[in-house]
Structure 1
Amino acid sequence: MNVESHLKCIIKDEQLSALFQPIYSTTFEKAYGFEALIRGPSDSPLHSPNALFDAALQYGLLSELELVCRKISIARFVELDLQGKLFLNVSPMVLLQSDHSQGVTISYLNEYNLSPDKVVIELSEKYPIDSPELLKNALIYYRNLGFSIAVDDLGAGYAGLKLWSEVTPDFVKIDRYFINQCHHDPVKREFIKSILNLGKNINANVIAEGIETHDEFDCLNELGLSLYQGYLFARPEPFPQQTLPSILEFKQRLVNVPVDIEPLASSLLQPANTINHDELTKDVVDYLHKHPHVHSIPVIRGRAPIGMALRGLLLELFSTPYGRALNEQKVISETMAKNPVIVEANTPLSEVARMVTSEHDEKIQWHFIITDRSNYVGIASVRDLLRQLTQQQIQHARYSNPLTMLPGNVPIYRHVDELLAAKVSFRFAYFDLNNFKPYNDIYGYAKGDQVIQLVSTILQHYCAKTDFVGHIGGDDFVVVFQDEQWRERCEAILREFDEKILEFYEPGHINAGGIETKSRTGQSQFFPLLGLAVGVVEPASTRCASHHDVAEVASAAKKQAKLTVKSSIFVCKRGGPNLDATISAIAV
């Protein structure tokens, strides 16, 4: 199927899904509204919005596509019972088309019982326009119907300010370009100030979009903005949070969020037509014949899924002698697959994989059903599930230590940098074995690997879920503590190590308190039993710009800890590199 035919099929069958990204109000400390963002089928080359709308423009289907997008967005907004305003993206090119249907959006609102004053028509400058006067008239038409007007990506296109002055929109969005690193750029800050002043003069609300860091937010907050949208607060989601916590609560929530959050079932969501449980089987089979690309159709009773109409199962049933005559008048609930996999949208993919493989012994189905609080929301492809799990495994293997399978340097550095950027308090603990090389020389590398695995096991056992355990390489480990009981945990780790390490020595060496072997200079030397040294530092975000600075301080602390023969903790009180330090050591 070529791109044009595929696009027509997507529009006809409404194979689109709506995601929502909140617009956050610091004045009311909640979501002021939600921008609807459309995605195509997940297994389609038209999944991304850019590919989808560029294809619609190329084949003259932009108006048809946008109307379907509005319908789906409105229906889903009402279904989720989202509060605040619904921001609908509208291309100015559609408004200027002579064949663009008028009154359709109002009919959708009436169908789903949503008032026009709850909807904001968000005008994007993605496609340049040549008729500003016609566009102005089109926007005035929408305003007279009760809609609010927003100008999107202000500064990204050439017509923004002129259109603003003539239409006086209710909302103006400042483009991500001006938001990015605005705390470092005085020119961007001056631009933002001028937009704010203009907005106040014409009573327009100014929204900053594309905020990704706390530094950007702090800068914009100081300038006086109160409406924000961006990854810092929330990404586009099929099930957005109804309410948002205060900024302080939000920052605290970041403390307990791990770097690599396992994707959920909702990440695989794709739209699909459903059939009611009382539909006749013959009608379902006729539909399957007309739509050869459809393999699975969820069967619902009310809003609850109860089964799946499967192409292979039904066509096989009708191919048997008297199969059609015996089954065509039966309702689909009698001939459907009665035990499909049904998962909640917030189920981790690893759990979804377990359910898919355990529930079907004979043959894995093409799709499984996704619900939200037991209500049907869509289906997902098993192929997409396997693809994403494979990508996760490749990513994990690429950056994990092969001996312990703990995260290696790259994820450790990324985790530290994200905590610094979020201004989250944490302790960075650098663990290293004392006298490990002499032990390897006497007992061999296989025994040495067992000792390294012992350290890995003990660290993971005593660390909290909010802590991050990594393996730099060799006998060097890192724990990023966010738990306040970090000191107690370190002490427990050392005690456990000192107890368990005796199992890795011969009795004679235990009685002697160590081993005798040649030093690096070739001289015979006595080396005490293995000990575990840990250097701990609490980095200050104002003095550590990146993981490089944290590593410098932690390495110095670890060296101090290794000066003690026994297992010990060395706590460095300085928060950054190259500064005078007041430090304390605790031997355990």
Structure 2
Amino acid sequence: MDQNIESLLHAVIQGQNLKVHFQPIVHIQTRQIYGYEGLIRGPVNTVLHSPTRLFEAATRAGRLAELDLLCRQLVIKRFAQLRLPGRLFINVDPFSLVHEHSREGQTLEFIEQAGVNPSQVIIELTETHPVEDVQLMQQAMVHYRQMGFRVALDDLGASYSGLKLWSEIRPDIVKIDRHFIQGVDQDRTKQQFVSAILKTATALGCRVITEGVETGKGRLIDLLHEITKLQVNRARHANPLTLLPGNVPIQQQLQKLFRQNIAFTVCYFDLDNFKPFNDFFGFSRGDKVLRFVSELLVANIDDQEDFIGHIGGDDFVAIFHSIHWQATVERILQQFDDSIGGLYNGHIGCVIKTTDREGVERQYRQMTLSVGAVVVRPTEWHCHIDLSEEASIAKHHAKAMPGSTLYIHELASEPHFALAGKSPSAHKTDQTAD
């Protein structure tokens, strides 16, 4: 390490020559300032002014834990002096928590000396290098929680082991790295990332916050808020078995597309011979089939462009905005036919015997998947049609044909209907009953 830098670092630590800044933290769900993160800068016009260079130098000199503790002390003191409202986020490197010379209770002492309520303080984990001893860090986090602190995971998506720490530590709050926030209103990949984080956080009861939102574009926070609302709404109305959006989000999506008056295709997926299978093998095996169908849909359909829903029972729906929807559906049908036999528990030919609705014993062949598609074109009069009725027509035609089949029903551009011919999947199997 350069002798001049080491001497400068020593002088900075000994003289506490550090400047504290505070950055507002926004709560994505409420769009309000949730608190402030304490940031540190070294002496101006020196090589240690940048926090990255400062902490790199401290790491090389073996003084990271010492510097980290000093930063905490100064941030807490300055927060109290400014009487800032809300929460105080204190960056803590996990390495300092498991340092052999670390003494318990030091952070709490700083807080008590400054007159800050411990419930205002959130310990924010920040990684400057990989965390090798997760168990020791877990113990430290338990200790902090017992003292009344909450724990946040800093800059999710940027650190060495952020996702692993999230699963191991189970923080109260996660902060999305600013890389994924900047330009998110224009970048679908970033939207997917943020959407996935929000979905996971909702399931775990975890708050999501962000920094770097001072873009001058109100659209950014609005977009994040809309993503959050969508995830919460879908979770509230999700099917409990498959966790896919249920009837309320499905209807909301259809109404949205009708208002926009754009072309889209609604595909209704319905299992053939599912009831006999369910009666023969039991509800647990039947649930496996439903989850299998939902996984097929999720694996093949881009839910950032299209929509997947579970109406209930063995009825699923996909609302396509993408133009290659037919190829996607035919691929799903092929994959279904290739794999469904594995759920028949070795029955030869996947043939089972059970009673029908009238109590008569019958023989049923392997399940197939029928898809009725309704193609909707932009027009002025579609608000007057009953889309469920049109879908029922398409699904009825699909189920009347043998095998796993797609039937396409195109709505006319004027108030009379023209049915398109069937477009069956490449693989077919016979069936004897619905």
Amino acid at match of 2:386: D
Alignment RMSD (CA, Å):
4.7
| Cα deviation code 1:412-463 (max 9, x no counterpart) | 1111111121122111111101122222222222211111111111111121
Structure 1 residue 284, shift from structure 2 partner: 7.8
Number of aligned residues:
282
CA 1:353–1:295: 2 relative to 1, 3 Å: farther
Task: Confirm whether residue 482 of structure 1 aligns to residue 321 of structure 2.
Answer: yes
Contact 1:528 1:565 survives alignment (8 Å): no
The counterpart of 1:455, out of the listed 286, 289, 293, is 293
Structure 1 residue 292, shift from structure 2 partner: 6.7
Structure 1 residue 581, shift from structure 2 partner: 2.2
Q: Distance in 2 between matches of 1:433 and 1:275?
A: 57
Task: Confirm whether residue 296 of structure 1 aligns to residue 92 of structure 2.
Answer: no
The counterpart of 1:469, out of the listed 280, 285, 308, is 308
Q: Distance in 1 between matches of 2:208 and 2:238?
A: 32
Q: Distance in 2 between matches of 1:419 and 1:274?
A: 45
Contact 2:409 2:419 survives alignment (8 Å): yes
Percent identity, aligned pairs only?
27
Task: Confirm whether residue 277 of structure 1 aligns to residue 277 of structure 2.
Answer: no
CA 1:316–1:541: 2 relative to 1, 3 Å: same
Q: Distance in 2 between matches of 1:430 and 1:476?
A: 7
Q: Distance in 2 between matches of 1:338 and 1:574?
A: 56
CA 1:318–1:573: 2 relative to 1, 3 Å: closer
Provide the TM-score with structure 2 as the length reference.
0.53
Amino acid at match of 1:483: S
Amino acid at match of 1:449: D
SS in 2 for 1:583: coil
CA 1:352–1:469: 2 relative to 1, 3 Å: closer
What does residue 574 of structure 1 align with?
411
Structure 1 residue 541, shift from structure 2 partner: 3.9
What does residue 369 of structure 2 align with?
532
| Cα deviation code 1:28-50 (max 9, x no counterpart) | xxxxxxxxxxxxx979xxxxxxx
CA 1:432–1:354: 2 relative to 1, 3 Å: closer
SS in 2 for 1:521: coil
What does residue 137 of structure 2 align with?
none
Q: Distance in 2 between matches of 1:519 and 1:314?
A: 70
Contact 2:297 2:332 survives alignment (8 Å): yes
| Cα deviation code 1:486-513 (max 9, x no counterpart) | 1111111111111111112254441xx6
What does residue 154 of structure 2 align with?
341
Contact 2:265 2:375 survives alignment (8 Å): yes
Structure possessing the higher relative contact order (Cα contacts under 8 Å, 6 or more residues apart): 2
CA 1:490–1:577: 2 relative to 1, 3 Å: farther
Contact 2:75 2:90 survives alignment (8 Å): no
What does residue 359 of structure 2 align with?
522
Task: Confirm whether residue 502 of structure 1 aligns to residue 295 of structure 2.
Answer: no
The counterpart of 1:371, out of the listed 212, 230, 241, is 212
Q: Distance in 2 between matches of 1:369 and 1:580?
A: 50
| Cα deviation code 1:122-172 (max 9, x no counterpart) | xxxxxxxxxxxxxxxxxxxxxxxxxxxxxxxxxxxxxxxxxxxxxxxxxxx
What does residue 316 of structure 1 align with?
109
Q: Which entry has the higher C-alpha Rg, 1 or 2? A: 1
Amino acid at match of 1:494: L
CA 1:349–1:289: 2 relative to 1, 3 Å: farther
CA 1:573–1:517: 2 relative to 1, 3 Å: same
- The within-5 A match list for 1:548-563 is 549-563=386-400
Q: Distance in 2 between matches of 1:439 and 1:283?
A: 64
SS in 2 for 1:401: coil
Structure 1 residue 540, shift from structure 2 partner: 3.0
| Cα deviation code 1:312-334 (max 9, x no counterpart) | 987834878xx9xxxxxxxxxxx
Amino acid at match of 1:416: L
SS in 1 for 2:423: strand
CA 1:485–1:291: 2 relative to 1, 3 Å: same
| Cα deviation code 1:90-116 (max 9, x no counterpart) | xxxxxxxxxxxxxxxxxxxxxxxxxxx
Provide the TM-score with structure 1 as the length reference.
0.40
Structure 1 residue 283, shift from structure 2 partner: 10
CA 1:540–1:549: 2 relative to 1, 3 Å: farther
What does residue 400 of structure 1 align with?
238
Structure 1 residue 481, shift from structure 2 partner: 1.4
Amino acid at match of 1:474: G
Q: Distance in 2 between matches of 1:535 and 1:337?
A: 51
Contact 1:435 1:530 survives alignment (8 Å): yes
